[in-house]
Amino acid sequence: MGQLPLSWKPGDAQPVDRPKPPPDEPLSVSELSASIVEALETLPSTVRVRGEVSNLSTRRHWYFSLKDEHALIGCVMWSSRTRGVEDPPAEGDEVEVSGHIAHYPPQGRTQLIVERIRQAGAGALRARYEALCAELREAGWFESEHKQPLPLLPARIAVVTSGTSAALTDVVRTARERCPGTALLVVDVRVQGEEAVSEVVEAIRRLDAHRATLGLDAILVTRGGGSPEDLQAFNERAVAHAVRECTLPVVAAIGHESDTTIIELVADRRASTPTQAIMHLLPDAGELRQQVDDRTQRLRLLAGQLVQQAAQRSRRHVEQLRRTMSMIIQVRRTTVQRLATELAHRRPDVLLQQRRARVQAAVQRLGASMQRRLQAGRVRLERGAESLPRAIAASQSRRHERVQTLQRTLQALGPVSVLERGFSMTTDEAGSVVRSTDGIEPGVRLTTHLVDGRIEARVEQVEPSGTVEP
């Protein structure tokens, strides 16, 4: 490196198809120039050169010289190329450039047309690394909030690495051991040198773009250990960008454990070795099975508990409902009990009893009333009985007097006095006074009452005629 793969002396390589001038004739300048141009065309199209920058002019196109202790060559980098350069070189910088040699006959100048330039010194590399690191950290690219979670059990992982590396062998072996079910898609890229950056970037971009068709779940970018220069591709901004923009989770394991490249800082997960990296991505199948078993067991237990709790709750609710209903019924039962008691108090036989009692009472009242009346009567009677004899005596004497008066009157008017005066009275056998001859027939017994006695006589003859003389 840093040396032209060229051992060329002017006039040494003459184009074969050109008409050779006579040996003794000198060449014209143009001829010599043309020869130089032709000779340069036989060189490899691209050369990589390392050297120190001097006489730098960066107005539009960059003009500078590359030199080492013994040589110097002019360089030009057209503005169309300088635009992509991340860290422009400064006077005295150790750089690595790539491009092609061209000879410019009008000025007789042979120079390197630079296509790419990058810092090459170890110190410079370090400085570049630190600057980019600081910038990206400042921009928050390393923050965990930008990190994507890794898939739990990826179906397919793309491994971006050198197809012949030990790193790939490690990754494949570990993957087979841990999780044979996961497919690996190996993308063979150069992992160091000039083309590494573009190949890695390209690989990441295309894998991400076709993630669905490829059925990818993650990307693993890895390479084994090497010098800082070897790992330089993974410290490039372009690579960091590609990882940052990648929608698939990216795991990066570059170099040895002590190396930390920028791709590892930007990646969703970094690992110290390729083996570690694939272990991050793949679960251990046996462990996984154990986990599933454990969780199944726990789930079953939990479900059982839930069912039991639900059953208990539902039992409690039913019990509560039943108690409430029982209470409602109990309240009504009390009401019915009261109604029953009250109705029983109004039983017809009770009513009857009441009525009977009332009748009894009436009877008693009646009896008492009669008794009272009787008593009153008795009192009255007794009182009467006391005055009765007197009254009777009085009335008797009154009657007596009256009778005597009447007797006297009667005597005056009566038959006796009549009889005394000589008249008599005849009665029939029935005692009736005979006032007429009617019905009197001979043989009938008659009694004739006289003042001093009577005469029993039998009728001899009846002569109804004139009146009896007084």
Partner 1 sequence: MAAKKSTKKTSGTDPATMTFEAASAELEEILQQIDSGELGLEEAMVLHRRGQVLLGHCRSLLDRADQELREVALDELDSADEAR
Whole-number Å distance between alpha carbons of 130 and 258: 16
- Residue 379, C-beta contacts closer than 8 angstroms, at least 6 positions apart: none
- Look-up of token digits 């040895």: 256
61 touches 94 (CB < 8 A): no
Looking at 33-41, 89-97, 351-359, 361-369, which segment touches partner 1 (CB under 8 A)?
Answer: 351-359
- Interaction of residue 300 with partner 1, rule CB under 8 A: no
Angle, helices 237-245 vs 196-209, to 10°: value is 10
Token pair belonging to 68: 């080492």
**Binding mask of the shown chain, residues 179 to 208, with x at each position contacting partner 1 by CB under 8 A:** ------------------------------
Report the 10 Å Cβ neighbour count for 42: 10
Instruction: Using CB under 8 A, pick the residue from 23, 106, 149, 348 that binds partner 1.
Output: 348
The window from 67-75, 120-128, 324-332, 449-457 that contacts partner 1 (CB under 8 A) reads 324-332
Helices (H) and strands (E) in the chain, counts: 12, 13
> Contact between 352 and partner 1 (CB under 8 A)?
yes
Sign of torsion over alpha carbons 179, 180, 185, 191: positive
In the complex, the smallest distance separating the C-beta of residue 343 from partner 1, rounded to whole angstroms, is: 5
Beta strands 62-67 and 72-77, pairing class: antiparallel
Give the nearer residue to partner 1 in terms of CB position, either 347 or 380: 347
Q: In the complex with partner 1, which residue's Cβ is closer, 146 or 338? A: 338
The total number of residues written for the chain in this structure:
470
Q: Which is nearer to partner 1, 20 or 346 (CB)?
A: 346
Question: Which of 71, 153, 303, 329 lies at the binding interface for partner 1 (CB under 8 A)?
Answer: 329
User: Measured between alpha carbons, how far is 332 from 5 in angstroms, rounded to an integer?
Assistant: 116
The distance from CA 305 to its chain's CA centroid, rounded to whole angstroms, is 19
Q: Rg of the chain's alpha carbons, rounded to an integer?
A: 83
* Axis crossing angle, helix 274-281 with helix 166-178, rounded to the nearest 10: 30
Output 316 or 398, the one with its CB closest to partner 1: 316
Which one of 9-17, 207-215, 348-356, 405-413 is the stretch in contact with partner 1 (CB under 8 A)? 348-356
339 binds partner 1 (CB under 8 A): yes
In whole angstroms, what is the distance from residue 250 CA to residue 148 CA? 8
Q: How far is the CB of 356 from partner 1 (least distance, A)?
A: 11
Residue type, 439: G
Exactly one of 227, 305, 335, 437 binds partner 1 (CB under 8 A); which one?
A: 335
Copy the structure tokens of residue 175.
């993957």
The alpha carbon dihedral of 79, 81, 82, 83 has a sign of positive
Nearer to partner 1, 20 or 345 (CB): 345
Angle ∠(342,347,349) on CA atoms, nearest 5 = 150
Decide if residue 393 touches partner 1 (CB under 8 A).
no
Residue 347, judged by CB atoms within 10 A of its CB (0-12, 13-18, 19+), counts as exposed
347 forms part of the interface with partner 1 (CB under 8 A): yes
Choose one: 134-142, 345-353, 411-419, 431-439; the region binding partner 1 (CB under 8 A). Answer: 345-353
CB 296, min distance to partner 1, A: 22
301 binds partner 1 (CB under 8 A): no
Instruction: Decide whether 351 or 363 has the Cβ nearer to partner 1.
Output: 351
Of these, 27, 90, 306, 318, which contacts partner 1 (CB under 8 A)? 318
Closer by beta carbon to partner 1, 307 or else 381? 307
The C-alpha atoms of residue 53 and residue 39 are separated, in whole angstroms, by 26
Q: Which of 29, 139, 301, 325 binds partner 1 (CB under 8 A)?
A: 325
Of residues 333 and 373, the one with the C-beta less far from partner 1: 333
Smallest distance, Å, CB 337 to partner 1? 9
Q: CB under 8 A: which stretch of 263-271, 346-354, 401-409, 440-448 binds partner 1?
A: 346-354
The answer to the question of residue 351 lying near partner 1 (CB under 8 A) is yes
Whole-number Å distance between alpha carbons of 406 and 413: 10
Binding residues vs partner 1 (CB under 8 A): 307, 311, 315, 318, 322, 325-326, 329, 332-333, 335-336, 339-340, 342-343, 346-348, 351-352, 355
